[in-house]
Chain A
């Protein structure tokens, strides 16, 4: 059962809630393979994509998901909105609500922004990534993809490699995967491992070969060089040399290790091209599954709000 009007993160969800979203996504996946890719589940509802950070993949994915549910979609990017004129997030949210819209999908560069918005509006809020905090739909689609291939999450060994410190994808994946019983390893240079991460029930290693050795899947994160203010990041080539996922390194891994990446790819930085395009890669399947997962999320939050208001 799902009763929440918002999806803000996986930290505050139960195992059952996560499983419910995944099950709902499964039933929505088939819609995208029809010749008429549309169901009327959100007909008459309006979804607003409110993006404070540049994003193509996530925004388009939410837009496609909403349209396949027959919702109307409005995209607001802050480069062209009143935010440039100094409007606060709370005011922007209330104005969007005053248009009698139903769901705000928010991407924001500040951690906690989605929660703050959700506290100040009655309509649904879906977090499409807030700062370094959470990116729940990305983690849900990663988990969905894993579950599709392996049949279950319990007992799976998943390694997350890359800039863990600044990654909302890593945090959401860790919460979701560990709640469903996966064994998670995080791997990064020491300075990109955040303090106390082991308290999230993950194993920490700085050795890429160690991270790959027994893994059923590896989720390769993009190095967010644009966040490197203090020069703490390794140089691109140096990173590839020490942490890049290459065919050579995968020789010591399980033969059918699943290669995942939330995109956008930096070929030759965190992942070699032949690995990204290779047989073990599910990177494009992730994108496809993202639609089903986001359809499920939009549908569930809208339904929960309708029920609450009745």
Chain B
């Protein structure tokens, strides 16, 4: 099958293209040509005039909940949400039930992915068996099954020696370690950021130290054995500063933040909205500025959603009892366009770097580019079209979006995944 995408404003930082009007010809699963005015017979022609054409997003932090919590999300529903949001590749986090901690469980997940996934799903396995923090998983075997990263996401590996060991083995196997940085003795069963808002609302606070001290620890461990390290969901200023310094020292550390950390603050919690109960928590205005600055100056490499679906039953309860997390696959691109591109913090090239090219590089996967011969994961985006996030227009199985009722710019018109026009359905 040939698909021709005509007259789009192509943004492809991997090839130094920033907004030129070009045509893209897709043949089979690959991009076969990128040029002006391609004249060829194609089975499908997409008119992209006035639209942005960019590589499909690579979201390196997604909870698909399958196996185990199919009431919250499945591989099928999550990837359906992904392609609607422009995400063609995602990294599935291992905190499922059972946890993805063995070759057998990886095969189980791969089987589900092969049968039901609408987008490319890459697998992140757990660092320790059962995510219990006691015994390291068999990283070599996991790698052989196709796992591309390991993470304890949802918690941190508290034992320093164990984390060091994991970093060492991961380096040998050339597999990425992603660190969820949280010292639970410091976050102390908190609910929201520790500060005036937590005092005002009478909610137990989560200190900033609980995050950045663990960022600091894991970076020094990575430095010690010269292994690469990726830090997940940065939320506070101090973490950004620590990473900036580490990068200056030449340490191979990369990091991500999520859209809610550069848009929403603790003050948005004054109405006890449980959809804004997220871990790490929404912080202060100063943190939002630091995160945006970090994105702009390159300290923060990646924007990922930390898509964390929960049922209404788990969110429509007292704030103390509500689960942590917000969904994000369907809103991340529009939030980034509205809050970063339209407001001048990032240009289109920068956006594609943070949401596609950089995560692909960090994960070592062959995505994030529109070069000839590349995998044809392409999205066509109307950058101006306005929409409002409502429960009704979300397709994820869960509706716990931190951005409900928000007016956003940017709509995905077409998603191609491996040469197939998968969205709109």
Question: Residues of A at under 8 Å CB distance from B?
Answer: 11, 88-90, 108, 110-113, 115-116, 130-134, 168, 171, 194-197, 199-200, 230
Q: Which of B10-18, B154-162, B318-326, B407-415 contacts A (4 or more CB under 8 A)?
A: B318-326
Inter-chain contact B199/A110, CB cutoff 8 Å? no
**Partner of B202 from A134, A195, A230 at Cβ < 8 Å:** A134
Whether, in the assembled complex, B188 has its beta carbon less than 8 Å from a beta carbon of chain A, the answer is: yes
B199 partner residues in chain A, CB cutoff 8 A? 194-197, 200
Q: Which residues of A sit under 8 angstroms from B313, Cβ to Cβ? A: 88
A171 to B203, CA, bound (A): 12
Chain B positions within 8 Å of A, measured between CB atoms, are: 188, 194-203, 205, 271-272, 313, 316-321
**Contact among B205, B271, B272, B320 with A195 in the assembled complex (CB-CB below 8 Å):** B205
Which residues on the A side are within 8 Å of B197 (C-beta)? 196
B319, A195: Cβ atoms closer than 8 Å: no
Q: Knowing A131-B202, A132-B202, A168-B202 touch, does A111 contact B320 (C-beta < 8 A)?
A: yes
CA distance A65 to B71 in the complex (A): 46
Query: What would be 7 A-B contacts, judged by CB atoms less than 8 Å apart?
Result: A110-B319, A111-B202, A112-B203, A112-B318, A133-B203, A134-B202, A197-B196
Cross-chain contact B321 with A230 (CB below 8 angstroms): no
A88-B316, A111-B201, A200-B200 are known contacts. Are A116 and B272 too (CB-CB below 8 A)? yes
* A171 (CB) vs chain B CBs: closest residue: B202
Residues of A near B198 (CB, < 8 A) are 194-195
Could you tell me if A110 and B201 are in contact, using CB atoms closer than 8 angstroms? no
Let me know if A112 and B272 touch, CB within 8 A: yes
Point out the residues of chain B lying under 8 angstroms from A199, CB to CB: 196
Asked if residues B317 and A88 are in contact (CB atoms below 8 Å), the reply is: yes
Task: Choose from B195, B201, B316 the contact partner of A112 (Cβ within 8 Å).
Answer: B201
A112 to B271, CA, bound (A): 8
In addition to A111-B320, A112-B201, 11 A-B residue pairs with Cβ atoms within 8 Å of each other are A88-B313, A88-B317, A89-B318, A110-B319, A115-B272, A116-B319, A194-B198, A195-B198, A195-B199, A195-B205, A196-B196
**Distance of A89 Cα from B319 Cα, bound (Å):** 12
B203 contacts A111, C-beta separation under 8 Å: yes
CA distance A113 to B319 in the complex (A): 8
B230 to chain A, nearest CB (A): 31
Q: Which residue of A lies closest to B271 (CB)?
A: A115
Contact A110 B200 (CB under 8 A): no
Q: Which residue of A lies closest to B204 (CB)?
A: A132
* CB–CB A230/B318 < 8 A: no
Q: A111-B201, A111-B203, A134-B202 are in contact. Are A195 and B317 (CB under 8 A)?
A: no
What is the CB-to-nearest-CB distance from A217 to chain B, in angstroms, rounded to a whole number?
23
Inter-subunit contact B201/A195 (CB<8 Å): no
CA distance A297 to B337 in the complex (A): 48
Closest CB of chain A to B246's CB: distance in Å?
A: 28
Q: Kindly list chain A residues whose C-beta atoms are within 8 Å of the C-beta of B271.
A: 115
User: Could you say which residues of chain B place their CB within 8 Å of the CB of A132?
Assistant: 202-203
Q: Which residues of A contact B194 (CB under 8 A)?
A: 195
Q: Are B319 and A112 in contact (CB under 8 A)?
A: yes
Are A89 and B320 in contact (CB-based, < 8 A)? no
**CA of A122 to CA of B195, assembled, Å:** 33
CA distance in complex: A273, B45 (Å): 88
* Residue among A110, A134, A197 facing the most chain B CB atoms (10 A cut-off): A110
Q: Which of A11, A116, A194 contacts B318 (CB 8 A)?
A: A116
> What's the Cα separation between A116 and B199 when bound, in Å?
18
Contacts of A171 in B (CB 8 A): 200, 202
Q: Whole-angstrom distance between the alpha carbons of A171 and B196 in the complex?
A: 12
Alpha-carbon gap, A75 to B201, bound state (A):
27
Bound CA span A196–B284, Å: 13
Give the chain A neighbours of B200 by CB distance below 8 A.
Answer: 11, 171, 196, 200
Instruction: Give Cα distance in the complex from A112 to B313, angstroms.
Output: 17
**Are B316 and A195 within 8 A (Cβ)?**
no
Q: How far is the CA of A131 from the CA of B313 in the complex (A)?
A: 21
Nearest-Cβ distance from residue B150 to partner chain A, whole angstroms: 32
Establish whether residues A130 and B202, one from each chain, have CB atoms under 8 Å apart when the complex forms. Answer: yes
Are A230 and B188 in contact, CB atoms less than 8 angstroms apart? yes
Supposing A130-B202, A132-B202 touch, asked if A110 and B195 sit within 8 A by C-beta, the answer is no
| Chain A contacts for B203, CB-based, 8 A | 111-112, 131-133
- A115: chain B residues at CB < 8 Å are 271-272
